[in-house]
Structure 1
Amino acid sequence: MTMGKAISDVLKIKHSMMAGVGDDELTKEEEAAAIYIGHQQPEDIYKIIADELIPPANTPEIASTVGVYREFKYKMDKKQETYCIDEEWIQTKFDNIYMQDKEGNLDGGHGMVVASSASLKATGDMLADIPTPGERIVFYVCGGGFISSDIPLLRWHYLRISAETGQRVFVPQYNVAPGHVFPRALHDTYTAYLHLLGRGFCAEDITMVALSAGGNIGMGMLRLLEMHHKPQPAKVVLIAPCLDLTFSSDSWQRNQKVCVLPYHPLESPRSMSRMYLGPVDKNTEIAKVLSHPLLSPLFADCAELPPIQLHIGQNDVFVDEAIELAKRIEESHGKESRHVELITYPGKNHYTILRGKTQLNKVYDSMRQFIDSLPVKKIS
């Protein structure tokens, strides 16, 4: 198989699924092509896409019979409080971003997407960032390996979530590495959540859904909310989350040949962790820095987390850290509390967990039941 043919195969399935809101089944050939591409050099992939195939931004339009989708810009609320972080080096990074944002000099600005399924009953402006009375919404933190955004590629996903849950979906457009390093994505996501609260949405009416790198950023946001005594979302759904940027779990090595995410040592400039963290002093112990809970949520205190549903493929490189998080939540809340629900998918990797009609139905059915059935604890 040539790399050009492999990329072409994956793009075909991506585009057909976007057009059909994820209704195509995934073939073994397409799965193999995705794994093959994942282990190639990034610059080679981008060159083939740019020279021979469809540009990544040229995504299909969403039919009005499926739903509607809009991007909007907003500014950080001037009343947003300064950060209070537990370590000086991180505090300094947050201070710099906060002051730039407050002064209106933060490069990239703030944006959000709102997606609304055609099946939703229209009450008011369904593309506005203000709530209707008692409205429940999904706050979705997208993935992309910290270095890209899956917002354009997964429009079908947001609309499908909207259709399944009967709720609008809001997606913060956080800025990505290497142009914008830690903690910029975390600041953007935290600010987006506070923006929605400021517009009148209630935390007890919000479910956070987060995918891949978005799971890392979203869990970091929960930690920031706890630290600053802000109300957290009522429920959380994590799909194939990246929880440990030290890549210390055994599944990183065990699942290398069956997952699309290649392993690069922390010392390598290709390392996802290093690109997100950004430049550090040459004497810095990288693994120690990356183990901070705002970078690796796996190592954060689980006592104050809202109820969480975890979806992970058994062939994913992230599977061990997802299982470990579930164990830590159980230890904090007790097994009988049902505070965490771990759902594993045999044979599924980081790509196939959200590919194919049968698999998607499993994920969405579980997600819908979790959101609908769990009693919502009012947050003061």
Structure 2
Amino acid sequence: MSIRLRALGLVLRIFVKPVLSHARDPAANRELLEKGARRFFRMPPYALQREARLQGGVSGIWVSARPATRPVPSDRLIFYVHGGGFIAGAPETHAALLARLAWLTGVEVFAPRYRLAPEHPFPAGIEDIRAAWEALLQRGYSPDRIVLAGDSAGGNIALALLAELCSRGQRPAGLFALSPHTDFTFQSPSIRENEHRDTMLPANRRKDVARWYLSSGDVSDCAASPIFATFLNPPPVLLQYSQTEILRDDASRLAAILRDAGGNVEEQVWPDAPHVFQIFDGWVPEARDALEGVADFVARRLDVTRPGKSRT
């Protein structure tokens, strides 16, 4: 564990976790993420971000890196659903992370906007992400040339969409999720075991998040809690998470379910890292190590050669 990662954990524990623990409404969470993104999430050089407008009113952003000197494949894509606890975040708050993924993979990233709770509770968000998927297919992308992805709440939505796509024969090339939330019944032992070890997420707010996102919805609905979904012939999946975060077992339990369904699942686990630490690439070396693992996974699934690496 690097000194920088230790320092990051301390900063999050002192300044971020108390805000998340005591915020009375989502506005504080949104402001915290937006300010943090502007101040601390670094875009790599020569990254291009542009507005996306697709059929059906779908919007979002396209992100690529060094497109002038290294044209991106026109038929391959990372489809990324941003996190933010279902109540905060936007493609723009995650643009630096997406640009780093684009830089490492040489593949363009599309991040759609989706409606946030509590103003737009479940299933509004997943309806928007489903519409974005359909808009990409109408644009000419083939499911087996798209890697689904997401972090935290975005990982939840991406996994719920994956189960639906597999059931209707639109199996994507693969999926990677960074610390996904998968169970609104909160049965994962790590919720309590890591309550005090998690440097960022407060376990005491889990019922509030469920109330904001689900409103009167069923906590065991597989579209809200993909831990209860049926995955028919799932594609390869990469899950990255930390041993000390409260969502550790949301990821590990889902990995077991995917394997039972015949899926090939790779788990990459860090012993003591914050929730979605990958977004701090440029600040802590562990974030780059994690993104390198993601990039290798994407390159295998989309059959592309990573920039600066020869195909083996």
What's the TM-score, normalizing by structure 2? 0.83
Matching residue of 2:225: 296
Task: State the match for 2:298 in structure 1.
Answer: 371
**1:304 offset after TM fit, Å?**
2.6
Residues 202-234 of structure 1: CA deviation (Å, up to 9, x unaligned): 11111112111001101111223234x251321
Distance in 1 separating the partners of 2:110 and 2:64: 9
Residue 214 of structure 2 corresponds to 277
1:364 partner letter:
L
Taking the aligned partners of 1:54 and 1:320, their CA distance within structure 2 comes to: 24
The alignment covers a number of residue pairs equal to: 295
SS of the equivalent of 1:247 reads: coil
Alignment-derived partner of residue 169 in structure 1: 109
The structure in which a higher percent of residues are helix is 2
Kindly tell me: are residues 352 and 367 of structure 1, through their superposed partners in 2, closer, same or farther at Cα, counting changes over 3 Å?
Answer: closer
Q: 1:289-328 counterparts in 2 under 5 A?
A: 289-328=218-257
- 1:68-97 per-residue CA deviation (whole Å, 9 max, x = no partner) reads 101233342xxxxxxxxxxxxxxxxxxxxx
How do 1:132-171 and structure 2 match up within 5 A?
132=74, 135-171=75-111
Contact 1:139–1:206 (CA<8 Å) still a contact in 2? yes
**Aligned residue for 1:341?**
266
Match of 1:34 among 12, 16, 22: 12
Using the TM superposition, name which of 305-314 and 35-44 deviates more.
35-44
**Where does residue 164 of structure 2 map in the other structure?**
224
- Structure 2 letter corresponding to 1:264: N
Q: Is the 8 A contact 2:243 2:271 kept in 1?
A: yes
Question: How much does 1:199 deviate?
Answer: 0.5
Q: Which sections of structure 1, spanning at least 5 residues, go unmatched? A: 1-23, 77-108, 281-285
Alignment-mate amino acid for residue 199 of structure 1: R
- Deviation of 1:174 (Å): 0.7
Alignment of 1:83-232 (within 5 A): 110-118=58-66, 121=69, 123=71, 132=74, 135-227=75-167, 229-232=168-171
Q: Which residue of 2 aligns with 1:85?
A: none
Q: Relative to 1, partners in 2 of residues 1:114 and 1:265: Cα closer, same or farther, differing over 3 Å?
A: closer
What is aligned with 2:310? none
Match of 2:176 in 1: 237
Larger relative contact order (CA 8 Å, sep ≥ 6): 2
Distance 1:152 1:292, change over 3 A: same
Structure 2 contact 17–202 (Cα < 8 Å) conserved: yes
Q: Give the whole-Å Cα distance in 1 for the aligned partners of 2:150 and 2:288.
A: 18
Please provide the CA RMSD for this pair.
3.1
Deviations 1:99-153 (A, max 9, x none): xxxxxxxxxx631110010167454xx7xxxx73xx2111011100000114222
- In the aligned structure 2, how far is the partner of 1:64 from the partner of 1:320? 32
Partner residue in 1 for 2:308: none
Amino acid of the structure 2 residue aligned with 1:245: F
| CA–CA separation in structure 2 for the residues paired with 1:253 and 1:193 | 35
Secondary structure of the structure 2 residue equivalent to 1:115: strand
Equivalent residues of 1:255, 1:316 under 8 A apart: yes
Q: Does 1:66 align with 2:46?
A: yes
Between structure 1 and structure 2, the one with the greater Rg is 1
Report the CA distance shift for 1:31/1:295 in structure 2 as closer, same or farther (over 3 A).
Answer: same
Counterpart Cα distance in 2 of 1:147 and 1:45 = 6
Q: Shift in Å at residue 248 of structure 1? A: 1.4
Aligned-partner SS, 1:113: strand
- Asked if the contact 2:5/2:284 (under 8 Å) is kept, the reply is no
Q: 1:70 aligns to what SS in structure 2?
A: strand
> More deviation in 61-70 or 196-205?
61-70
Partner of 2:197: 258
- 1:253 Cα deviation after fit: 1.0
Displacement of 1:242 after TM fit? 0.4
Inter-partner Cα distance in structure 2 for 1:329 and 1:63: 34
